[in-house]
Amino acid sequence: MKMTLRWFGSGHDSVTLEQIRQIPGVTGVITTLYNKQPGEVWNLPEILELKNEVENAGLKIEGIESVNIHDSIKTGSPEKDKYIENYIITLENLAKADIHLICYNFMPVFDWTRSSLAKKRADGSTVLSYDQDLIDKINPETIFNEINSNSNGFTMPGWEPERLSKIKELFETYKDITSEKLLENLIYFLNKIKDTCKKNNIKMAIHPDDPAWPVFGLPRIINSKENIQKLLDGVNDDFNGLTLCTGSLGSNPENDICDIIKTFGKRIYFAHIRNLIHHSKGKFDEAAHLSSDGSFDMYEIMKTLYETGFSGPVRPDHGRAIWGEVAMPGYGLYDRALGATYLNGLIEAIEKSSKK
Ligand code: DNO
């Protein structure tokens, strides 16, 4: 496994490449061209500029999170093919820069959703949290404003302010999109990019829906073992794979993360590892990475990943805000560095004990 950190790029992240380089065992980053709108072409010179910056800091780009998908592709509207063409050019340019792993999501309107970006815990740290009762009382526009005004001045991924002005329109375009239709549109997209991915050895690793159930009446299709199976069978080819995100899939306690890893092992290309605390149905707080801090058995998760032969990039996911750090919620340096170190400790122990 390659330990990485997510990095949003200079000017978009409070964390620097120099800091990431100093986290023991972290050899790469998962990054993006953060200012690109869904559907826009990524040109080769700008990709190479990013790559050089990362490599000059002694790190490697292990993958992109995310190349976002234009809504017309998700809704299957007439202009979808034009945006798929753009996506293909971006994939080809990334491959020219020797980048072959793409994390993306197929969630309508919103990417991830939380009811709070800074819920205070007993030790004074703050975490992202979700409470379905609170979400049910908020309308989508209000939550957009709340997320943006509580993000410490950073633009949160998936919550770009320019989307707010279009929110009513966006909901309108999704009004007839059932989960079956959404899956059909995803399969259409994957079939169209299949040849490009195969020719360029690109792995598409879809990110699960977060939380793992429909929010604001919008369909969610990558949220359980059965639904992941439908997608992987729908385009049954190696390039069509999964990002294992423990926090997203695990938001629903009915999802057995280790079983999901065992079932889809060979089609998991990227892993987001974090822990959370379940309170009751639809109610959870994010936590530190340690098993003892949340509801997941992190040792079992890492061991299962190891036993499937997973050798791709792994990254600690959302961290708590600690030690007074001001950063994008979930994406500060300190707690993610602790997370990386803890995960590296688990990996070392698992590797050594498996060889005995
Ligand atoms: C949130 C992230 C998501 C993820 C996208 C992948 O913190 O896990 O924004 O990057 O869904 O496309």
DSSP notation for 225-247: HHHHHHHHHHT-STTEEEEEEHH
Catalytic residue flag (residue 299): no
Digit-by-digit pLDDT tens for the chain (356 residues) are 999 999 999 999 999 999 999 999 999 999 999 999 999 999 999 999 999 999 999 999 999 999 999 999 999 999 999 999 999 999 999 999 999 999 999 999 989 999 999 999 999 999 999 999 999 999 888 888 899 899 999 999 988 888 778 888 999 999 999 999 999 999 999 999 999 999 999 999 999 999 999 999 999 999 999 999 999 999 999 999 999 999 999 999 999 999 999 999 999 999 999 999 999 999 999 999 999 999 999 999 999 999 999 999 999 999 999 999 999 999 999 999 999 999 999 999 999 999 98
**286 touches ligand 1 (CB under 6 Å):** no
**How far is the centre of ligand 1, averaged over its atoms, from the C-alpha of 281 (Å)?**
22
Catalytic residue flag (residue 289): no
Catalytic residue flag (residue 70): no
Catalytic residue flag (residue 207): yes
Which residue in the list 83, 174, 269, 331 is annotated as catalytic? 331
- Give the residue, out of 36, 73, 103, 111, with the most ligand 1 atoms within 8 A of its beta carbon, to mutate for a pocket test: 111
Catalytic residue flag (residue 318): yes
Q: How many domains does the chain have?
A: 1
CATH of the domain at 146: 3.20.20.150
Query: Are 339 and 345 spatial neighbours (Cβ–Cβ below 8 Å)?
Result: no
Determine whether 176 is exposed, middle or buried from the number of CB atoms within 10 Å of its CB (0-12, 13-18, 19+): exposed
Residue position matching structure tokens 């938001």: 251
**103 touches ligand 1 (CB under 6 Å):** yes
Show the domain range for 241: 2-354
Q: CA 152, CA 328: separation in Å to the nearest integer?
A: 6
Q: Which candidate, 62, 96, 7, places its Cα nearest to that of 312?
A: 62
- Give the residue, out of 102, 206, 207, with the most ligand 1 atoms within 8 A of its beta carbon, to mutate for a pocket test: 207
